[in-house]
Structure formats: C-alpha cells, structure tokens
Structure 1
Amino acid sequence: MKLSCLQENLNKAISIVSKVVATRSTLPVLSNILIKTEKGRLKLSATNLEIGISCWIGSKIEKEGSITIPARLFSDFVATNTDKTIAFELENTSLSLKSEHFFAHIKGIEASEFPLIPQIHQEPFIELPVLPLKEAITQTVFAVAIDETRPVLAGVLLRFVDDKLKIAATDSYRLAERQIELPRKVEKNVDLIVPAKTILELARIMSDSEQAVTIRVAENQVQFDISQAQVVSRLIEGSFPQYEQIIPSQTPISATVPTADFQNAIKMASLFARESADNIKLKIKKDNNLEIVAISPQAGDSVSNLSAQTTGEIEIAFNAKYLSDVLPVLGAEKLELLFSGPLSPGLVRPKNSKDYLYIIMPLKTEE
C-alpha cells in the first residue's frame, strides 16, 4: 500500500470512526483502525462488534493494500501533525507515515484478522433529511434506560408508519417521543429498536450541512449512509412497550410558562431536592401562578413562583432531574405542562407543538 492524503481529511475520518474502537477487548485487533484502499479512495473502519463505522476520503493511491493499526496512536499522531499532506507506505505489517516535518513507523496487525463489518446492499428503505432526524434524536435519546436488564429500553424506537416516523425512548419512568413527516410513504410499516449508542454515534457523525441519511434494513441489522460515512449496527430484538396507552387523552389542568424561567426555577429547586431524592412539587393555581417547591429535612427548603397561564389546580410531585433533562431540548420559548390528576402521568411539550411530547411519571408523596 502506498498513498497520500490531506491531514485535515484524515483527521476528520479518524474522529468519525474511532469512537467505536473497543478499548478493553480481549481481541487486540478491535483496538485498531482498519485502513484500506477501495475504489480509488482510502477507507477507514472501526468496530466493537455491535457497531461498525466506516469513512471514505479522497487520496492519491499509488499501490493498493490494507492494514490495521492502533487507533489511539494513529489518531494522536495525525491530530498532532501540522503538515498539509501525509504519505502512507506499508512494509509487511509496519506502516510508515511521512509528512514534511514528521516521520513515523507504526506496527500493525494484518487486515485479515479484522472482523468483517457487514454491509447491507438491499434497496434503501427510506431517505430522511438530516436536520429533523438529528433534532429528533437529541429530543429523545436521553430518556433511554441506563440499566440494560431490559434490552429494549436501552434502545431508541424508530417506528415507520405510512408517511410518519415516530422516534421514542423510555426508561419506564419517563418517555420522549418526536414525530417526523416522511418524504414518502414506506412500503412496509416497521419498528426498529436501535441501540442508544448507535443512535448517539449517528447524531455525532451527521453534520448540519449534510442533506440526507439513507436507511437500509436487513434481518437484525440497520445501516445508515451519511455522505462519506456509514454506520452499521445490530438491532435490539423484542417488542417496544406499547406506550400510547399512558399518554393522557384529557388534560384539564395546565400551565403555560416561559421555558427559560421554568428551567431556572427547576435548577433552583434541584439545589435542595438533591438532599431528598430529587423530589420536587409543582403547584398550579387558578390565579395564573405556578409554584415549584423543594423541601429537604437536611438542607432546608425553597419556593419559586412563576407567572403562568393556568387552567385548573393541582399539586403533583416529580423527580427534578427528569424534569430538567427535557428542558434544553424543547426548542421553544414557551412550554406547556398538562395534567389529568396528581397520580397520573404529566405531559410536557413545546407550546403549540403536536410533534413532540415528554411523559413523566409522578412521585407518590406523604401528605
């Protein structure tokens, strides 16, 4: 293998694939990046056996070849290199990297030992615009379960129905759902449960300047093609909870409040709530007042009063962190808090928006 490429492009490609490098694997080759010439371009790949990411960059190829080299050393060398162009030359399993001011040899492992990252060659299932998909991921993925004892809750649901895509995540205590209009009807309605790690990597890779992401589906696998990069992942088997039944159909009690004001009030209450299992109370009053209360036997208590448009009255308790998690991703100047009763799930959504909702289970409190 003999070639040269721009340092800037190489550094970007390494940053795209390196996040899935397995750092604690019993297989040394999984700590490496696969470097391979392919159809006149340089291909970089990494995998942890659950997710595989590949990236292609332009290069001047004089001789074909492939090798795997340690990801961390390769990444650090290229990132530190300030020269414009880097030349590669492979001798057995040693890769020489040469630029105007720097020269190095990095010992590698044969490319034949690198696990095959499967590629799905079927016709695309759907093509989606990047921006709404990236926004939808940000608005939902934070609600996945950290505990993986129930695997389906550690994934994000992509539910394709006709010309709609619903993206949802839940840990059974709260649920986030975003709906996106599809550019066309899908030929077959399908549920895909994608590991949260895969979804996060996809969002990280997608640039705001990119136009579309193409999704391909095969048995137990999904593939996302974005510009010069590709993400391949296993799907989580099982059925996602039928969460629609917990979405309140009637919400006679409500408060509409500026998002920034509510966020600051929750932050203030959290200072005291952290001493009492993050328990805070919301009190909606008929006189257009929203009260946020936190009481800690150890630390003391706090009360925040916000001016709000209200209907009905309620006193209801929530986990402060679960409330604060959703506020940065609402993307609206005002939010709506909607309730049907003190023991029923609460609903948070941007004002005048039907595309996004956040459901949070209330806490039982001692009177």
Structure 2
Amino acid sequence: MKFTCLHENLNKGLNQVSHLASKNVSLPILNNVMIVCEGGVIKLSATNLEIGVNTIIRGKVEEEGKITIPAKTIADYINLLSDDKVEISSQDNSLFIASRNTKTIIKGQGVEEFPLIPLVEQKEAYYIKTKEFKKAISQTVYAVAQDESRPEISGVFLSISGETATLVATDSYRLAEKKVKLTKTSKKNIAIIIPTRTILELSRILSEEVNQLEMYFNDNQIMFVCEGVEIISRIIEGQYPDYKQIIPQEYKTTASFSREGMVKAVKGAALFSKTGINDVNIKIDPTGNKLIISSANTQLGESVAEFKAEVVGEANEIVFNHRYLLDGLSNLESSEATISLINRSNPGALMAKGDNEFTYIIMPIKQ
C-alpha cells in the first residue's frame, strides 16, 4: 500500500474515526483503525461492534493495500506533524510515514481479524439539514436515561413522518422533544431508538459546513452519510413509550418571562435547595403579573426572587428539580420563554416564546 495526501485531510479523517476505537482487552483489533487503498480511494474505518465509521480522504493512491494500525498512536502522531504533505506506505504489517523532515514506522496488524462493518442499503434516503439536526441533538440528548435497566429510554427516539423529523429523549423525570423539517418529504414513516453513544459520535463528527445529511434505515440499523463519512449503528430493540400521553394538551396557567431573569433566579434559589432533592418552588401570580422563585433550607437559609411576567390564567404553584429546570431553560433559543402549568401534581412545560418546535416537560417534585 502506498499513497500521498495532505496532512490536513489525513488528520481530519483520523480524528473522525479514531475516537471510536477504544481500549478493548478482549478484542485488541478494535483498538485499531483500518486503512484501505482500493480503486483509487483512501478509506479509514473504525468500529466498536455497535457503531462503525468509514471516512474517505482525498489523496493520490500509488499502490493498493490494507492494514490496521493502533488508532491512538497514529492519530496522535499525525496530529503533531506540521508538513503539508504526508507519504504513507505499508510492508509486512508495518506502516511507514514520511514527511519533509520525519520518517516513522508504526507496527500494525493485518485486516483479517478486523470486523466487517455492514452497510445499510441505500434504497430510500431521508434528507435533513446538518446544522438543524446537530441542534436537535444538543436540545434533547441530555435528557436520555442513564440507567440502562430500561433500554427503551436509554437512547434518543427518532420518528419521521411526512416532512418532519422528531427527536425525543426522556429519563422519566423530564422529557425533551424537538421537531425539525426534512429537506425532502419522506415516503415512509420511521420510528426507531438510536443509542446515545451513536448520537454523541454523530454530533461530534458532523460538520455544520456541510449543508445536508442523508439517513438510511433497515430493520436493525441506521446509517448517516455526510460528505464522504458513513456512520453505521445498530438501533435499540423495543418499543419507545407513548411519550405524547404525558404532554398536557391544556394548561390552566401560562406565564411569559425573561429567560435570563429566570435562570438567575433559579440559580440563586438552587443554592438553598435541600441536598438530594434539589427543589425550587415556582409561584405564578396573575394579580401582580409576576413569578416568584424560592427555596428554603433549615441549615443554610432561604432565597426568594420576584420578577415580571405576563400571566394568562389562574394563580398556580409547583416544585421542580432545579437541575432539570436549568437544563430546559438553557436549551430555549429565545430571550423570552413561557412556562405552562395545570397544578402542582401534573407535569409543567417550558417553551421558547413563539416557538412550537421545542417542548420541554418536567415532572414536579411532590411534597
């Protein structure tokens, strides 16, 4: 195998795939990245058996071949180089790297034991804007359940219908839902659960400079394709809970307020919340058109903050976990936000004012 490429291209490709190769004692080959030169194409691949990543890098192939190399070693070394061009060749399971001022040999392995990364047949593509999809990931993935005893909520739910893709995550204490428009109306509805690790890898690898992301599905896999990069993952088996049942259809009280003001008030109250409970009390006063955020701790003291709000409906009060509340507030893309309540026993909703694409539901702390 022999090829020449720009240092920038090789470094970018290795950064895209090497992160997936982790220290695996039982199957050491998974610590490697596979380099394949075939048909004039240079391809880098890595897998952890649940997720696989392939990326094509531009360069000049002089001799075809294949080899696997310890991912961390080659990625760290290439990252240190400052030359414009790099010449790569292999012989007897060793990789030779030559640049203007350096020559290096890295011991590798053959490709015989490297797991095959099965691709999803590219029959029907679903197209979405890369920037919007990355934003949807960041607005939902933090709400995924960390406890894998319920695998159906340990990933992000993706549903596609018509011209809308919806991402949902929940840990049963709060729920985040984000809707994104497809760039092309889908012919077939999709409903799958994507592992959290896959979603995080996807967000890390995707570049917002690339306008469009393609998605392909089969019965147990999903494949994302974006400018020469393929990310293939299994999907989580099982049925995602009917989350729409917990989203209230009507509320008795809605208050519009300054998001920044609310964040400061909640952070202040959080300092006096009870350890392990993280409780803050929210009171909506329609008479004074204001929100009152408070918390009390017998050992530390108490905090009460009032600020203006536009209130529609009756007086209301609820107790939330301040960590969950701040997570929701930080993901609202507006300076003005709304909170909607039924009573202190039912879920409440946060939304950016005038934005129906992102909904954040929080279960109350019942006292």
TM-score with structure 1 length normalisation? 0.96
Residue matched to 2:293:
292
Residue matched to 1:59:
59
Residue matched to 2:351:
349
Q: 2:325 aligns with which of 302, 320, 323?
A: 323
Matched, 1:192 2:182: no
CA distance in 2, matches of 1:62, 1:47: 27
Matched, 1:313 2:315: yes
SS at match of 2:267: helix
CA distance in 1, matches of 2:276, 2:282: 15
Q: 1:362 aligns with which of 355, 361, 364?
A: 364
SS at match of 1:277: coil
SS at match of 1:5: strand
SS at match of 2:104: strand
Residue matched to 2:163:
163
- CA offsets, 1:107-138, max 9 Å, x none? 11111211111111231331111122111111
- CA offsets, 1:267-303, max 9 Å, x none? 2222222635211111111211111112222322212
Question: Which region of structure 1 is more displaced relative to structure 2, 193-202 or 304-313?
Answer: 304-313
- On the 8 A contact 1:275/1:298 being kept in 2, the answer is no
CA distance in 1, matches of 2:276, 2:295: 9
Residue matched to 1:303:
304
Residue matched to 2:258:
258
- On the 8 A contact 2:127/2:184 being kept in 1, the answer is no
Query: Is there any run of 5+ residues in structure 1 with no aligned partner, and where?
Result: none
Residue matched to 2:222:
222
Residue matched to 2:143:
143
Matches within 5 A, 1:101-180: 101-180=101-180
- On the 8 A contact 1:143/1:175 being kept in 2, the answer is yes
SS at match of 2:261: helix
Residue matched to 1:2:
2
Residue matched to 2:87:
87
- On the 8 A contact 1:282/1:290 being kept in 2, the answer is yes
Q: CA deviation at 1:37?
A: 1.1
Matched, 1:24 2:24: yes
CA distance in 1, matches of 2:276, 2:305: 17
CA distance in 2, matches of 1:251, 1:257: 17
- How many residue pairs get aligned? The number is 365
Question: Which region of structure 1 is more displaced relative to structure 2, 267-276 or 341-350?
Answer: 267-276
CA distance in 1, matches of 2:11, 2:111: 21
Aligned amino acid, residue 294 of structure 1: S
SS at match of 1:273: coil
Aligned amino acid, residue 305 of structure 1: E
Q: 1:333 aligns with which of 325, 332, 335?
A: 335
Q: CA deviation at 1:170?
A: 0.7
Question: Which region of structure 1 is more displaced relative to structure 2, 118-127 or 353-362?
Answer: 118-127
CA distance in 1, matches of 2:128, 2:217: 14
Aligned amino acid, residue 27 of structure 1: L
Aligned amino acid, residue 311 of structure 2: T
CA distance in 2, matches of 1:68, 1:251: 58
SS at match of 2:139: helix
Change (3 A) 1:324 1:274: farther
Residue matched to 2:76:
76
CA distance in 2, matches of 1:111, 1:37: 12
Q: CA deviation at 1:22?
A: 2.4
Question: Which region of structure 1 is more displaced relative to structure 2, 123-132 or 213-222?
Answer: 123-132
CA distance in 1, matches of 2:111, 2:276: 54
Q: CA deviation at 1:362?
A: 0.2
Question: Which region of structure 1 is more displaced relative to structure 2, 33-42 or 312-321?
Answer: 33-42
Aligned amino acid, residue 194 of structure 2: V
SS at match of 1:272: coil
Aligned amino acid, residue 320 of structure 2: F
- CA offsets, 1:240-269, max 9 Å, x none? 110111111111212111111111222222
Change (3 A) 1:267 1:38: farther
Change (3 A) 1:319 1:2: same
TM-score with structure 2 length normalisation? 0.96
Aligned amino acid, residue 106 of structure 1: I
Aligned amino acid, residue 77 of structure 1: Y
SS at match of 2:19: helix
Q: CA deviation at 1:353?
A: 1.1
- On the 8 A contact 2:128/2:181 being kept in 1, the answer is no
SS at match of 1:266: helix
- CA offsets, 1:62-112, max 9 Å, x none? 111111111111111011111111111101111011111222111111112
Structure 1 residue ranges (4+ consecutive) displaced by more than 4 angstroms after TM superposition: none
- On the 8 A contact 1:40/1:58 being kept in 2, the answer is no
- On the 8 A contact 1:166/1:178 being kept in 2, the answer is yes
CA distance in 1, matches of 2:94, 2:183: 48
Change (3 A) 1:298 1:21: farther
- On the 8 A contact 2:255/2:339 being kept in 1, the answer is yes
